[in-house]
Structure 1
Amino acid sequence: MTEFRNVKKILVIKLRHIGDVLLAIPAIRAVRDTFPDSHITALVNSGTEDMLKGNALINKVFILDRSLLKQSLSKRIKYELSFLNIIKKENFDMAIDLTGGDRPAIYSFLSRTRYRIGYETSGGFWGKKFLYTHRFAVNADRHTVLQNVELLDKAGIKAKTLNVDFYISKEDEIWLTNTLTKREVKEGDAIVHVHPTSRWLFKCWKDEYMAEVIDRLQEQYGAKVIMTCSPDKREMDKANKIVELARKKPITFIGNISLKKLGAISKRAKLFFGVDSAPMHIAAAVGTPVVALFGPSGAFHWGPWDNDYREQGAGGKGQEEPYQRRNGVQTFGRHTVIQRDWDCIPCGKDGCEGSKVSDCLEDISVDEVMEIISNRFKIN
């Protein structure tokens, strides 16, 4: 660490989606542990900032308003220049780009920091590599948590723990208690949090299958099912169709719940069931067992993270990778991913042949899902 001197102010950039920001927490903790007296600012996209709210590792959060980047060229340039000016005024000593894209690389360079750390990648514009002072290649086939800490490990910034933390306020916990009381959910009732949608609908299961699982959870196990959904219209339409198909209606929060309150529900639940989504990562972060359906994505990279995982150094020496295979049904700690073991998985495509429907998800049966839920978590 003698290479990095007088590092007082640090900018950590993660301009991705909600789950990506949450899974960057172990890397941010490594920065805090290495530079305990530094002032750390995180730069994230609008809509993802709740993943960092209440986290004592971070002193300040800058929010990039993505909606303004979709306006006219003149307005976009004006906004970006204004935003860059705010960053430059902070006089950061170090910028750490955990994103890997072009914009964060430019932000890192224009922040005028002495030390600029980023990924060694083959993509992006010509000359991008010259924007960093320190670039490192990482294993792209690892879980995103391990990729983030591997980058920092190679820079001499060591991760002591790999916990993904999600903070829930006392106010949100009180809200949940009052809400459950009003819905006649008792203290000893087994709650199952179901979040059936993703912003990418090709990651979603059949509506009738999801409705059947909700019915069986209630009818066979006496579980209290709480179903949540984001305010996205397409997701809300899908969620409402699932409720319509269900024989026994779940408690619902469709489009009218914050991510923090959603996390409070997951924390109180005995089980989370859903698809590859940000709420899945939140449930795992608060320690709730997850059963998740995966289609075109790789669990080895995006599977629910178990906070009981430990490794000897960011290189993973001494412990196996969290998800061992490229596809198929896999268990990591308290979490299980249900996925077909087809050769085409993971394809990363938006459905088969551009259909926006993933055959590998459609092929998963209700009986298969219920068997895994029953055998692994023994809901009574």
Structure 2
Amino acid sequence: MSPLLGRAPESICVLRLSALGDICNTLPAVRALQRQWPDCRITWIVGKVEAMMLDGIDGVELLVYDKRSGFKGMLELRKKLKGRRFDLLLHMQAALRASLLSLCIPARIRLGFDAERAKDNQRLFTNRQIAPNPRKHVLDGFMDFIRACGADAESLEWRMPIPDQDREQARRLVGEQRYLVISPCSSQRIRNFRNWSVEGYAEVIDHAWQQYGLRTVLSGGNTELEQHYGERLGELCSATPINLIGKTSLKELLALIEGAELVLGPDSGPMHMGTATGTPALGLYASSNPDRTGPYLSRQWVVNAYPAQVQKAFGCEVDSISWGKRVREPDVMDSIQVSEVTAMMDRLLAERSA
């Protein structure tokens, strides 16, 4: 029974559009709903790119909203949902665009974030709120929705759908050798400095090869910056990486990460894809707080320069600033030293081997 309804829900709509990492962090909440109420019809409204990653998920109806479609896309969603009414809407994205989209979703109970986490006036679009749970990881925030629904939120399960043909393609791309995946760049946003140096990655790639015989696979999108990283790393490394930047689908990337010894990169989607596929993630964090957005099951492997950079930028400890505040200095990631990354890789691989 759900305390919100006084009975078990028959239909639930999950509203979480983006981004890839947040979708990975939302998946355990959806799986918890499935475990608790296996007969409940679950609909997930998700972004176009993110739906490509979730394609094939069992027991969930995916309704795709293309963020570029604007008002037209909202009308199309409203048309798709005409005549339907959900018992519960889990409004799990505190952004104005998502809140406006939520107006197209008929639901009896509209559950949103508590006052602290309900950004962009989300509370105006909901009629129930989850309990406050300050200074927690993003994934814990999503599981707070599950607790509010009355479902078991203690067990975490992903079961990210990866077709066999994508696993086979991943094997064709890398062969039978042991490897790690490096996704060197995060998504490009204004004053969001999360990328480490090409030179730093090159030294780590050579360390992985010389010490462990691990080949590096490079992944990423097809932007000019990411292509530049791939080309430069090919020039700088003595152990030439397999450059798959801009050459794989999301499903193939999931399969590559699933088969890797580890995945390495900044605060970005592939870190959470590692968690979703059971692969350790070695995250590089200086501008953002890994206790909030780090790879959930691999936070012990994060190279964490964030506290020192908060002290440098704001003159205080992490506990004294707002949760999730970013350090927006262009050189913030330069504070991460190659020796810190290789030492963390050594620890991770030693424990994985043991």
Equivalent position amino acid for 2:280 in 1: P
Equivalent position amino acid for 2:338 in 1: V
State the alpha-carbon separation in 1 of the partners of residues 129 and 23 from structure 2: 21
Q: CA deviation at 1:57?
A: 4.2
1:194 has 2:171 as partner: no
1:282 has 2:284 as partner: no
Name the residue aligned to 1:292. 283
User: Secondary structure at 2:310's aligned position in 1?
Assistant: coil
Name the residue aligned to 1:19. 21
State the alpha-carbon separation in 2 of the partners of residues 350 and 67 from structure 1: 29
Name the residue aligned to 1:216. 207
1:106-158 Cα shifts (integer Å, max 9, x gaps): 433442211211112366566x5353232124324111111111133133233
C-alpha change, 1:280 and 1:84, in structure 2 (3 Å) is: same
Q: CA deviation at 1:179?
A: 2.6
Q: For the Cα contact (< 8 Å) 1:199–1:235, is it kept in 2?
A: no
Residues 272-351 of structure 1 correspond to what in structure 2 (within 5 A)?
272-306=263-297, 332=299, 335-340=300-305, 341-342=307-308, 344=310, 348-349=325-326, 351=328
State the alpha-carbon separation in 1 of the partners of residues 281 and 3 from structure 2: 42
State the alpha-carbon separation in 1 of the partners of residues 58 and 144 from structure 2: 23
State the alpha-carbon separation in 1 of the partners of residues 130 and 114 from structure 2: 5
Question: More displaced, 101-110 or 132-141?
Answer: 101-110
Identity %: 25
State the alpha-carbon separation in 2 of the partners of residues 235 and 169 from structure 1: 26
Name the residue aligned to 1:319. none
User: Secondary structure at 1:178's aligned position in 2?
Assistant: helix
1:367 has 2:332 as partner: no
Question: More displaced, 205-214 or 99-108?
Answer: 99-108
Q: CA deviation at 1:275?
A: 1.5
User: Secondary structure at 2:140's aligned position in 1?
Assistant: helix
Which among 148, 153, 176 is matched to residue 154 of structure 1?
A: 148
1:100 has 2:94 as partner: yes
Which among 40, 55, 58 is matched to residue 56 of structure 1?
A: 58
User: Secondary structure at 1:31's aligned position in 2?
Assistant: helix
Aligned residues: 334
Question: More displaced, 160-169 or 189-198?
Answer: 160-169
Equivalent position amino acid for 1:53 in 2: D
Q: For the Cα contact (< 8 Å) 1:197–1:275, is it kept in 2?
A: yes
Q: For the Cα contact (< 8 Å) 1:296–1:358, is it kept in 2?
A: no
Q: For the Cα contact (< 8 Å) 1:144–1:302, is it kept in 2?
A: yes
Residues 167-246 of structure 1 correspond to what in structure 2 (within 5 A)?
167-181=161-175, 186=176, 189-200=177-188, 202-246=193-237
User: Secondary structure at 1:67's aligned position in 2?
Assistant: helix
C-alpha change, 1:10 and 1:151, in structure 2 (3 Å) is: closer
Which among 43, 46, 68 is matched to residue 44 of structure 1?
A: 46
State the alpha-carbon separation in 2 of the partners of residues 372 and 111 from structure 1: 46
State the alpha-carbon separation in 1 of the partners of residues 343 and 256 from structure 2: 24
Q: CA deviation at 1:50?
A: 3.1
C-alpha change, 1:377 and 1:84, in structure 2 (3 Å) is: same
Which among 81, 91, 95 is matched to residue 85 of structure 2?
A: 91
User: Secondary structure at 2:208's aligned position in 1?
Assistant: helix
Equivalent position amino acid for 2:184 in 1: P
Equivalent position amino acid for 1:84 in 2: R
Q: CA deviation at 1:95?
A: 1.1
C-alpha change, 1:235 and 1:30, in structure 2 (3 Å) is: same
C-alpha change, 1:16 and 1:84, in structure 2 (3 Å) is: same
**TM-score relative to the length of structure 2:** 0.85
C-alpha change, 1:25 and 1:79, in structure 2 (3 Å) is: closer
State the alpha-carbon separation in 2 of the partners of residues 36 and 266 from structure 1: 30
C-alpha change, 1:129 and 1:178, in structure 2 (3 Å) is: closer
State the alpha-carbon separation in 2 of the partners of residues 227 and 125 from structure 1: 36
Name the residue aligned to 1:114. 108
Q: For the Cα contact (< 8 Å) 1:96–1:108, is it kept in 2?
A: no
C-alpha change, 1:270 and 1:129, in structure 2 (3 Å) is: closer
Q: CA deviation at 1:49?
A: 1.2
C-alpha change, 1:125 and 1:273, in structure 2 (3 Å) is: closer
Runs of 4+ in 1 over 6 A off after TM superposition: none
C-alpha change, 1:176 and 1:140, in structure 2 (3 Å) is: same
C-alpha change, 1:110 and 1:260, in structure 2 (3 Å) is: closer
C-alpha change, 1:88 and 1:115, in structure 2 (3 Å) is: farther
1:249 has 2:240 as partner: yes
1:82 has 2:67 as partner: no
State the alpha-carbon separation in 1 of the partners of residues 90 and 56 from structure 2: 21
State the alpha-carbon separation in 2 of the partners of residues 229 and 130 from structure 1: 37
State the alpha-carbon separation in 2 of the partners of residues 305 and 94 from structure 1: 27
1:249-291 Cα shifts (integer Å, max 9, x gaps): 1111011111211111111111222221101111122111221
Structure with the largest fraction of helix: 2
C-alpha root-mean-square deviation of aligned residues, in Å? 2.4
Equivalent position amino acid for 2:274 in 1: A
Name the residue aligned to 1:377. 349
